Amino acid sequence: KTIHLADYQPFTHLVERVELTFRLAPGATRVLAQLHLAPNPARPGRHPLRLDGEGLRLVACAVAGQAVAPALDDSGLTIAPEDLPEGPFLLETEVEIAPEANTALEGLYMSKGMYCTQCEAEGFRKITYYLDRPDVMSRFRVRIESDLPVLLSNGNPTANGQGWAEWDDPWPKPAYLFALVAGDLRAHSADFTTASGRKVALNIWVRPGDEDRCAYAMDSLIRSMRWDEEVYGREYDLDVFNIVAVDDFNMGAMENKGLNIFNSRYVLASPETATDDDYARIEAIIAHEYFHNWTGNRITCRDWFQLCLKEGLTVFRDHQFSGDMRSAAVRRIEEVVALRARQFREDAGPLAHPVRPESFVEINNFYTATVYEKGSEVIAMLKTLVGDQGYKRALDLYFDRHDGDAATIEDWLNVFEDATGRDLSQFKLWYSQAGTPRLQVAEDWQDGVYTLTFTQSTPPTPGQPEKAPRVIPINVGLLNPNGDEVVPTIMLEMTQERQSFRFQGLAARPVPSILRGFSAPVVLEREAPPEERAFLLAHDTDPFNKWEAGRALAKDVMAAMVLQDAPPSPAWLDAVAAVAFDGGLDPAFRALCLRLPAEDDMAQTIHAMGRIPDPARIHSARRAMAGALAIRLGEGLVQLCRDLDDGAEFSPSAEQAGRRALRLAALALLARRDGGKLAAEAFAGARSMTEEIGALAALLDVGQGAAELQVFADRWGGDANVMDKWFALQLALAEPGEAAELTERLTARADFDWKNPNRFRSVVGALAANHAGFHHLSGRGYRVVADWLLKLDPLNPQTAARVSTAFETWPRYDAARRKLAQAELERILAAPDLSGDLREMAGRMLAAG
């Protein structure tokens, strides 16, 4: 059943208060609910009461103390208006559920002996009958009865005794923010005093033995709390803030009020078990969930179409935070790499949808890169357009005006209009039009006047053949041919389909640096000779565009290798060498410049050029580029490795991480020259997981490392989060013709616990991410992934549907591959009892044929 944004109506009833009692038992948990209801004045007249509920066994139901027999169906219950008093009334229900049988990991479920919940978006209806929609907000009181030692819910603890605990959340919230945890857990604790003097107890709850891996997450939490006070003026609003780490979790983490629940891989870290990337992700996700307390919880969404209201804004805030904590330039480059890899890919295929979708079947399928990442970029553009001061005024007004509301994108934009006086009606197209705009540039130089003429267009996307021109902030700087900057960054505000901007008073024709900082999520289609790209890589003062010039050069080279059999160009090799050995540049930045474009990214680019990408050729070209670079950089790499290995005591700081990244990049290139000799030494002497996994990757990439793989498995066999890396790495680096077979070998292992989403993703998801392996002409990559999706779907539809996006790029390939992929999608769609989640995804992907 399709739900439409246009059909929104307020609910018939309001919930003033909720009291819940949980009698926990793995096979038969009882949930007693008391809902204090009242007719909603916004919906005059008498209405039946419709409550959502799925997979519940109703034991008792009473209205105002009188037993009633509601009409039950698959998705809820209905009480006729005749059975309801005219004014406010109490509804009491008792239901039975079986958390241990809940493999979908949505609602109340069990993970390694502990109870936990995941309610966003529509999981609460699997716990009890309720008005499970975000615009119904209520105050919750919770009593938990269980013999387990730690019993947690939202809000503040009010009382507890032997076998029970009570919690009270003073802040009205929608049901998707409800959470409950019960288990044998240990806390890593700290405290925090807010700017206005509230003392907050902070706890990170983990399984016994993991307490010593929480320090970094706690430090990140404290820095997040301080940052939100300093930058946004937002304080925490309860006496406790709890975080729980869970091993079985469908996504990254969840911002339940006062009780964030995390995938354990985004909490637990020690130098021996976590890579530098893990540390950076933990910092970002801890911040993200904490920031939701204001952008998501205090101000929530009216309906799920407004998801980007909280997610786009919260991603934007976590990006700002990470940029403040680390090198902002390096973070920005990494954000854009991820945006192109995930969101541009989505926007160019059959799953493209607007940042605010207008219809959906299964909302879980819309927690996408478009809603999150593009949603964040749209806010970044808004900030560029109105300026830092305008942004600050608008956000202050947003918190002031909408605290306690379930708000909409219209509310959000109105706040900007009111605070800055700007008309945002055209800007709003960013929320309703799908697809990535292409931006073309023409240059003109005459009589000392330099003119840039931009043309924008957006390709058709499903359901949207025509697009109107959008507002695009284009940050531009101009350089002199000698490398000096003659025009520092200015913002050109493009509003038309075609628009020119003039620069006067220049002594010589400048070299333009366009779209600095990636000021808009668009594809800049501008051909430039290699000399110009190399010039910008050497001289641009904008660090993003400096990197981007090198990236564009590398892509030009790879495209020429794939499409014209050209050799790797010397201009590119020289330009990269200059950066790699420039000790004046940040090592993290140099490491990024040594990273070659990903194969899937290259396929996307070649497709956008109107050609059909050949995964096998892209794979060989990328290999050949790495080989040529290894030769060009030569012995200097050995020296680089030595200089960067300073023997300092481990710190997860961005500064040290950058040095490690550059050293490992050099080591990987060296492995192409020495057959992995130095990498094997580095593996043996590794003092951190970053080095251990980095050295192992360098070995596997040159066909070595069998012995080291075994050493790794023997050492880490007992640690699921570390072993996930072991599985994923092998598949990432498997030869294209061997990836599917390797998957079959790995999935036959006893420790391939396919019901655990992390393990499933690190094997099946990793095969799907091995571009040349997944798209291998044998069709085995497609088949193995489809087999596993069909196996997982009946147990965990949400994760199956998520991993199925592996197929979203199928329309870009040749007829033979299209036929193979299409056949697998059809096979999925024809499966009996397919979940609604996977059905929607497979259907949308097939519609592109």
Residues with catalytic roles: 289
Residue 355, interface with ligand ARG (CB under 6 A)? no
Nearer to ligand ARG, 176 or 572 (CB): 176
Residues contacting ligand ARG: total by CB under 6 A: 11
Cα–Cα distance for residue pair 37/32, rounded to 1 Å: 16
Contact segment (CB under 6 A) with ligand ARG among 253-261, 350-358, 647-655, 673-681 equals 253-261
Binding part of the chain for ligand ARG, among 250-258, 614-622, 805-813, 835-843 by CB under 6 A, reads: 250-258
Collapse the DSSP code of 133 into the 3-class scheme (helix H, G, I; strand E, B; otherwise coil) and give the result: coil
What is the per-residue binding string for Zn ion in 301-340, x denoting contact by CB under 5 A?
----------x--x--------------------------
Interface residue with ligand ARG among 35, 165, 181, 253 (CB under 6 A) is 253
| Closest to Zn ion by CB, 314 or 370 | 314
Stretch of 143-151, 157-165, 249-257, 727-735 lying at the interface with ligand ARG (CB under 6 A):
249-257
Query: What does 397 bind: ligand ARG, Zn ion, none (CB cut-off 5 to 8 Å by kind)?
Result: none
Give 117 or 747: the residue with its C-beta nearer to ligand ARG. 117
State the nearest-atom distance from the C-beta of 585 to ligand ARG, in Å: 34
Please list, in sequence order, all residues whose beta carbon lies within 8 angstroms of the beta carbon of residue 126, skipping any fewer than 6 positions away.
Answer: 53, 54, 55, 56, 97, 102, 106, 107, 108
Whole-angstrom distance, CA of residue 111 vs CA of residue 113: 6
DSSP 665-689: HHHHHHHHHHTTHHHHHHHHT--SH
Q: Which does 251 bind (CB under 5 to 8 A by kind): Zn ion, ligand ARG, none?
A: ligand ARG
Strands 300-301 and 406-407, by their bridges, are: parallel
Structural element, H or E, at residue 223:
helix 215-232
Pairing outcome for strands 438-446 and 523-525: parallel
**Residue 364 interaction partner, one of Zn ion, ligand ARG, none, beta carbon < 5-8 Å per kind:** ligand ARG
The whole-angstrom separation of Cα 76 and Cα 56 is 9
Q: Which stretch binds ligand ARG (CB under 6 A): 80-88, 247-255, 376-384, 503-511?
A: 247-255
End-to-end Cα spacing for the chain: 23
Report the length, in residues, of the chain.
Answer: 849
Beta carbon nearer to ligand ARG, 281 or 539: 281
- Please count the other Cβ atoms lying within 10 Å of the Cβ belonging to residue 225: 24
Closer by beta carbon to Zn ion, 49 or else 177: 177
DSSP state of 71: E
Near ligand ARG in 288-317, by CB under 6 A: 288-289, 311
Q: Would you state the structure tokens that stand for residue 211, as one six-digit string?
A: 């307490």
Pairwise CA distance, residues 181 & 246, whole Å = 10
Residue 693's binding partner among ligand ARG, Zn ion, none (Cβ under 5 to 8 angstroms by kind) is none
Query: Which residue has 């007829």 as its token pair?
Result: 815
Which positions from 82 to 121 touch ligand ARG by CB under 6 A, shown as an x/- string? --------------------------------------xx
Q: Determine the Cα angle at 296 with ends 841 and 179, to 5°.
A: 80
User: Tokens 């916004």 map to which residue?
Assistant: 42
* From the list ligand ARG, Zn ion, none, partner contacted by residue 824 (C-beta under 5 to 8 A by kind): none
Tell me if 251 contacts ligand ARG by CB under 6 A. Answer: yes
Residue 321, interface with ligand ARG (CB under 6 A)? no
As a whole number of angstroms, the distance between CA 282 and CA 321 comes to 13
Q: Does 364 bind ligand ARG (CB under 6 A)?
A: yes
Look at residues 535, 575, 538, 540 and name the one whose alpha carbon lies nearest to residue 554. 575
- Which runs of consecutive H residues, i.e. helices, occur in 675-776? 677-684, 689-701, 706-716, 720-732, 739-747, 757-760, 766-769, 771-774
Only one residue has tokens 């030769």, namely: 631
Stretch that binds ligand ARG, among 252-260, 546-554, 678-686, 785-793 (CB under 6 A): 252-260
In the complex, least distance from residue 286 CB atom to Zn ion, rounded to whole angstroms: 12
Q: Give the nearest distance from C-beta 333 to ligand ARG in angstroms.
A: 23
Closest CA to 89 of 99, 79, 98, 97: 79
Indicate whether 217 belongs to the interface with ligand ARG (CB under 6 A): no
Q: Does residue 266 belong to the site contacting ligand ARG (CB under 6 A)? A: no
**Nearest residue to ligand ARG on Cβ basis:** 367
Cβ proximity to ligand ARG, 367 vs 810, nearer residue:
367
> Which CB atom, from 284 or from 514, has the smaller least distance to ligand ARG?
284
- Closest distance to ligand ARG from the beta carbon of 118 (Å): 7
Among residues 254, 406, 640, 657, the one that binds ligand ARG under rule CB under 6 A: 254
Residue 555 DSSP SS3:
helix
- Among 52, 135, 210, 255, interactor with ligand ARG by CB under 6 A: 255
Q: Which does 121 bind (CB under 5 to 8 A by kind): Zn ion, ligand ARG, none?
A: ligand ARG
Structural tokens at position 803: 């991993």
CB of 781 to ligand ARG, least distance (A): 26
d(CA 472, CA 573): 34
Give the largest CA-CA distance in the chain: 89
- Least distance in angstroms from the C-beta of 663 to Zn ion: 34
Cis peptide before 732 (omega within 30 of 0): no
Note whether 131 and 43 are within 8 A (CB). Answer: no
> Which one of residues 241, 262, 279, 367 is an interface residue with ligand ARG (CB under 6 A)?
367
Q: Is 325 helix (H, G, I), strand (E, B) or coil?
A: helix
> Which residues are at the interface with ligand ARG (CB under 6 A)?
120-121, 251, 253-255, 288-289, 311, 364, 367
> Which residues are at the interface with Zn ion (CB under 5 A)?
311, 314
